[in-house]
Amino acid sequence: MVPKSSPDSSRSQTLDRGVRALNLIATSPKPMTIDEVADQLALGRSVTYRIIRTLEDHRLVMRDASGRLAGGTQLVALAGGVRAEMQAVAAPILTELANTLQMTSFLVVSDGQEAVTVQVAEPTSTAAHVAYRPGTRHPLERGAPGIALLAGLDVQPGERTEVAAARVSGWAYSEGEVIEGMASIAAPVSTSDGATKAAIAVVHLALSLNSHDVAPQVVNAANGLGVKLS
């Protein structure tokens, strides 16, 4: 249960409830029902429903086809300033990784149940490489970047064995799950408080190299970014 804030006449109780609800929904590893939110916040269902409707009006919360709640598209815009700072710090790390491995590197963050590529660095001295576009989206449970992001979370019921393996090894590998014929290696970017902020990944032609040779360099890049963001 999310703890209640201490009473303070100088603060808005309604806003406090809304912020706690938004934080709960946005950080949940899976979409929540209104009843689950109400239980976690120790609020009545009618009060919770009004909070959710207000958050929906501002596109901070959205419902899926089953009516469950997840973070809305406006959260991406609100996080823009934080993400811009992350991208500025990540840029030289991605560039160095791309040029060292001679393959495209990219930074991925989670948006609800999707993995979104927000930054790409292409090698500058290779004759040919795989192009990858910022804005590319795919389900979190598919592809090495999504698996790496999930590996940064607590164990979830029914999660893929690849997520559990990545949690142990520190990196994930996938082949043909996002782009046919392409493989990817990714590692979670975690800060000193244990929070996973993003994933760093590289993409290459499947079967073109030994993933165990590449993975340590991807992990080092991710760890380096995590330290700088801490």
Write the CB contacts of 24 (distance below 8 Å, at least 6 apart in sequence).
Answer: 2, 32, 37, 40, 41
pLDDT of residue 7: 54
- Inform me whether the pLDDT recorded for 205 exceeds 90: no
Band of the pLDDT at 179, cuts 50, 70, 90?
Answer: confident
Same domain, 154 and 111: yes
pLDDT of residue 5: 53
> Is residue 91 helix, strand or coil?
helix
Same domain, 110 and 224: yes
Average pLDDT over residues 35-64: 91
Average pLDDT over residues 37-57: 93
Structural domain of residue 62, as residue ranges? Answer: 13-72
Which of 89-103, 126-140, 159-173 is predicted least confidently?
A: 126-140
Q: How far apart are CA 50 and CA 17, in angstroms?
A: 11
Write the CB contacts of 49 (distance below 8 Å, at least 6 apart in sequence).
Answer: 34
Residue 4 included in any domain: no
Q: How far apart are CA 197 and CA 108, in angstroms?
A: 9
* CATH value at residue 170: 3.30.450.40
Same domain, 100 and 193: yes
Residue 7 included in any domain: no
Domain boundary (72, 90, 115) is at: 72
Residue 57 included in any domain: yes
Residue 5 included in any domain: no
Q: How far apart are CA 76 and CA 170, in angstroms?
A: 27
Domain count, the chain: 2
**116, two tokens:** 């979104």
Band of the pLDDT at 151, cuts 50, 70, 90?
Answer: very high
Band of the pLDDT at 76, cuts 50, 70, 90?
Answer: low
Domain boundary (30, 55, 72) is at: 72
Residue 6 included in any domain: no
Q: How far apart are CA 58 and CA 72, in angstroms?
A: 9
Residue 88 included in any domain: yes
Residue 139 included in any domain: yes
Backbone φ, ψ for residue 14 (5° rounding): -65, -45
Same domain, 42 and 109: no
Q: How far apart are CA 64 and CA 70, in angstroms?
A: 8
Same domain, 124 and 209: yes
Q: How far apart are CA 81 and CA 118, in angstroms?
A: 13
Same domain, 91 and 125: yes
pLDDT of residue 193: 83
Domain boundary (51, 72, 93) is at: 72
Same domain, 65 and 83: no
Same domain, 178 and 199: yes
CA torsion sign for 19, 43, 71, 180 is positive
Average pLDDT over residues 174-197: 89
Would you say 201 and 218 are in contact if contact means Cβ atoms under 8 Å apart? yes
Same domain, 113 and 64: no
* CATH value at residue 49: 1.10.10.10
Q: How far apart are CA 164 and CA 152, in angstroms?
A: 10
- Inform me whether the pLDDT recorded for 138 exceeds 80: yes
Q: What length does the chain have?
A: 230
Same domain, 212 and 190: yes
- Inform me whether the pLDDT recorded for 47 exceeds 70: yes
Same domain, 66 and 20: yes
**108, two tokens:** 């991925």
Residue 2 included in any domain: no
Q: How far apart are CA 94 and CA 46, in angstroms?
A: 47
Record the pTM: 0.65
- Inform me whether the pLDDT recorded for 215 exceeds 90: yes
Same domain, 86 and 196: yes
